[in-house]
Chain A
Amino acid sequence: MPVQLIHQRFRSFITQLGEISQLLMESIGSFRHQRPSWKDFLYQLQFIGVKSQSVVITTGAATGMVLCAQTFLQFHKVKMDTATGAVVSIGMSSELGPVLAALMLTGRVGASMTAELGTMKVTEQIDALRTLAAHPVDTLVVPRFLALLASAPLLTAESVVVGIVSSWWVGVNLLGIDSAYYLVNMTRYTDPPDVLTGLIKSLVFGAIIAVVSCYKGLTCQGGAEGVGKATTEAVVVASISILIINFFLTLFLSRLFYS
């Protein structure tokens, strides 16, 4: 029966992809029917944006320092020590910053969103919302979607800046790279499109986290076990989607900016 199983899995995958796309379109289309609630948006912005800072800063700093050390160790062999700053800066701005910040947000924010909406689903709170003539997308999805769209680029920028500063500190104080050369090479080789690439990616990743997490929460079934399963699936699906889409975004944006 493996063919049947593959067919079933493929069908389920296509159905979910369709439903996630539909949720995305409904979230965008929601503005025609209902103005988003400022109160809910600000609450989500505080939860997603403000409270995720420690996680994102730590990730950025750790990544910047490790990347600096590894790059230096390799470049030192060919006497290119001062190019370390450029590699770290471009890597952090366009790839590692947005991807790692998005993965951390998936774990911290996406999981929490799915668990919250999933619990609301299994305790009939979402049905209650519907009986009160409130659309779940307008009330629950849109504030989270907007808050993630606003927070993800800012958190990514924060992560990138912290990563670059910490790599500079490691490079200059622990590895003995000359500060002036480090900074000059970094600014010479890092172009605005590198930074823009990272910010565009973070915007797309924010949308993915919001839509996948909300979808998994809203379609959660069963009791506590169902909520747990939906939360795990949300983190896995969002993380894998981010990694795969990152590759295509890299190709697309590099063509857009450098061709």
Chain B
Amino acid sequence: MIEVRDVTKSFGTQQVLRGVSLDIRRGEAVVIIGRSGGGKSILLKHLIGLLQPDSGVVRVDGEDITAMNERSLLRVRRKYGMLFQMAALFDSLTVDENVGFVLRRQGLESETEIRRRIDEALDMVELPGIGNKMPSELSGGMRKRVGLARAIVYRPEIVLYDEPTTGLDPIAADNIDRLIRRVWETLHVTSIAVTHDMKSARTISNRILMLHEGQIYSEGPTSEILESRDPVIYRFVNGISTPQKSE
């Protein structure tokens, strides 16, 4: 479904991605792990065409999106939903208007049908009846759940999550993880998340890719990666800052 081949990306003199290649198949739940500042979010933004690589190719269903202009990308992006790190809700709109943004903009359905789908999405993220609130009135966890409702209300094929549990307390983070899992299971979407939260990675993925020094260092089933004895993976998964003598 998504193919990434030899993607490189630099910002000024700093090379963030150094020839990343990966494949994501339809219906998978993939998590990309790696250190903070290692380019995970940059890679995620390449998958939806928010950033263009310096070299390399990103194909979505066989179409090279790196060769597309912003208008052509709009068509491809209809396949995607994305939850941002800080939710990125439109702060001048209510929750209801945020969630229904795409539906109302497309204008393909009646207001009754739009209303029903907004309520359905808010029910799915366990936030019924908050449609009239403004984003500034919501907690961090609630904002992320509204962001998730906005990302899934139009039934995308692929949902991207950028650090979905960052900045949340453990209970709110667990709640988001459960919702991501539920979205993947019930809507049968392809789920791609970047995170450095190992508990979250265990809950929401069936395959993990590790980004290290600008390249995919390793990939495999979730349990295999989390139990790996490879020193780089082991240190990251277990949060060990320097190599231990016992290793």
Contact = CB atoms under 8 A, between A and B. Distances in A.
The yes or no verdict on A and B being binding partners is yes
A178 interface: no
Interface in A197-248: none
B81 interface: yes
A127 B71 contact: no
Contacts of A135: 70-71, 74
Contacts, number: 53
A133 B85 contact: no
Given A33-B71, A133-B74, A127 B88 contact: yes
How many chain A residues sit at the interface, stated as a range, is 10 to 19
A125 B50 contact: no
A259 interface: no
A7 interface: no
B217 interface: no
Nearest to A132: B102
B84 A132 contact: no
A130 interface: yes
Contacts of A16: none
Residue in A33, A124, A134 whose Cβ sees the most chain B Cβ within 10 Å: A124
Contacts of A8: none
B50 A130 contact: yes
Contact of B88 (A124, A133, A134, A139): A124
A125 B91 contact: yes
A131 interface: yes
Contacts of B77: 130-133
Interface string B113-124: 000000000000
Contacts of A123: 86, 88, 91
A210 B227 CA distance: 56
Contact of B90 (A125, A130, A131): A125
24 contacts: A123-B86, A123-B91, A124-B86, A124-B88, A125-B88, A125-B90, A127-B84, A128-B90, A129-B90, A130-B73, A131-B80, A131-B81, A132-B101, A132-B102, A132-B150, A133-B74, A133-B75, A133-B77, A134-B74, A134-B102, A135-B70, A135-B71, A135-B74, A139-B105
Interface of A: 33, 120, 123-125, 127-135, 139
**A-B pairs with the 10 shortest C-beta distances?**
A128-B88, A124-B88, A131-B82, A133-B74, A133-B77, A133-B78, A132-B102, A124-B84, A125-B88, A127-B50
Given A120-B90, A123-B91, A139-B105, 13 more contacts: A33-B71, A123-B86, A124-B85, A130-B70, A131-B80, A131-B151, A132-B102, A132-B105, A133-B74, A133-B75, A134-B74, A134-B105, A135-B74
